[in-house]
Structure 1
Amino acid sequence: MAEVSGVGKGSQQEVLRSIFERSGMCMAKLDNAFRLVEVNADFSGQFGCLPAELGGRCFVELLHADARTQVSRRLTRLLAAPGSRFTEPTVSFRRKDSTVFSGELTGFTVGGDRSDAECLMALICPEGGNRKDRAAATHRLVLTDIEARILEGVALGMSTVNLASMLYLSRGGIGYHVDTLMRKLKVKNRPALVSKAYSIGLIRPGWPPRVYPPRVYPE
């Protein structure tokens, strides 16, 4: 994979902001004590709350009692190994009205260095959503080398013009490959593309974004 330079924490935060606001996935940002620093509207809506109602609450408190110990352990291990990720296929959560729903929980770290994670990210895919599509994508999806490099660039927040310059392609060529990636992952925009790529394990957690090598075949 070609190295991409000149993209730092500011760009990372811009990408995360775009994913937060437009991906359509239930996402939350946690601090090192597992408190909710920020949640998007999809996340708060799933719990029957406004985003402001969840700010400062411990993420573990949103879990059914039976799931709290296991998830707490997974989050603690995540903090000890920045750049790693975990997925719990079925976790039970409690809404504001005390009703329970289940879903797949994915956690990964953002920012920091090898010894210190800046924050944790939690993605929830409620049952009845697109878990079957995601499972199928996890097992079957393979990218060409150029698709992988473009996906990494999109995850970095690079524009079509910058990607075209880096990869010696036309802007139309970049647009074609981005459209192909969105069709493969069954999403409608770039933030959703990046979010889903992370959630199904196509991109390794951490910064800069990198597609897992086994997911790539040469053209």
Structure 2
Amino acid sequence: MNDAAAWRNRFMTLLDRLPTPTGLCLGDGVLVDANPAFAQLLGTTPMKLRARQVNDLLQPKDVRDYERLLSSLRTRRRRRGDVAVRWKTGTGTLTIQVLTDQSLTVLLLTLVPTPIESADVPDLTERELAVLRLTAAGHTSSQAAHELGLTADGVNYHLNRLLDRFRVPNRVALVARAYTLGILDTTTWPPR
């Protein structure tokens, strides 16, 4: 194995261990690899991201700024730039850096999600709060529906609205976010 191949293997091992959501793509926007943190943020696995177009996964908030950044990266006027992006479950800043290795040029992508500030926490209705509490206590949709006098579809409706409003991909993340933001009390059980 030559030195370049050995360094590439070390880099890929390091990439998988980085806690920062990071990916590599070719100049045409096709993802070559992404670490688990990047995939988790997008609600999938690294293998399912390979060979996908970055533009299909992340949409720039301002298309003109994004096009200017890509143009300056292609012409090598800049080696790095930031762009505000959104994806299915969140928003954040995508940093794009040009990496050149002998005959190969790739783009290093670093995605930093915009944190939800306590001021950004939506006001919850009593029904949403009840659904959240029962979910945190481990109730299924059917069990919560029975207890609240709703249908399972009604509970799922409220859960999906909560997932969207808190910009999280699943129930576990929703409950964790609710505890983190102080919506649920960590000192009582069942959750209040």
Give the structure-2-normalised TM-score. Answer: 0.50
Question: In 1, distance between residues paired with 2:41 and 2:92?
Answer: 11
2:114 to 121, 124, 127: 127
Q: Is the 8 A contact 1:83 1:110 kept in 2?
A: no
Secondary structure of 1:118's counterpart equals strand
Secondary structure of 2:28's counterpart equals coil
1:23 to 9, 18, 24: 18
Identity %: 18
Question: In 1, distance between residues paired with 2:60 and 2:114?
Answer: 19
In structure 2, the residue matched to 1:62 is 57
Question: In 2, distance between residues paired with 1:87 and 1:21?
Answer: 22
In structure 2, the residue matched to 1:48 is 43
In structure 1, the residue matched to 2:72 is 77
Q: Per-residue deviation at 1:12?
A: 4.3
1:106 aligns with 2:95: yes
Q: Call closer, same or farther: CA 1:123–1:65 in 2, change over 3 Å.
A: closer
Q: Call closer, same or farther: CA 1:32–1:80 in 2, change over 3 Å.
A: same
Q: Per-residue deviation at 1:56?
A: 1.6
In structure 2, the residue matched to 1:94 is 87
Q: Call closer, same or farther: CA 1:52–1:102 in 2, change over 3 Å.
A: same
1:140-193 deviations in Å (ceiling 9; x for gaps): xxxxxxxxxxxxxxxxxxxxxxxxxxxxxxxxxxxxxxxxxxxxxxxxxxxxxx
1:53-88 deviations in Å (ceiling 9; x for gaps): 222221122223644443243133213218711123
Q: Is the 8 A contact 1:60 1:71 kept in 2?
A: no
Q: In structure 2, give the amino acid aligned to 1:53.
A: K
Give the structure-1-normalised TM-score. Answer: 0.45
Question: In 2, distance between residues paired with 1:58 and 1:120?
Answer: 13
Query: Cα RMSD over matched residues?
Result: 2.8
In structure 1, the residue matched to 2:166 is none
Question: In 1, distance between residues paired with 2:12 and 2:61?
Answer: 32
1:32 aligns with 2:27: yes
> Which structure has the larger Rg?
2
Q: Is the 8 A contact 1:86 1:106 kept in 2?
A: yes
1:69-108 deviations in Å (ceiling 9; x for gaps): 43243133213218711123xx23213xxx3x12122111
Q: Call closer, same or farther: CA 1:12–1:86 in 2, change over 3 Å.
A: farther
Question: In 2, distance between residues paired with 1:15 and 1:82?
Answer: 29
Select the structure with the greater relative contact order (CA < 8 A; seq sep ≥ 6).
1
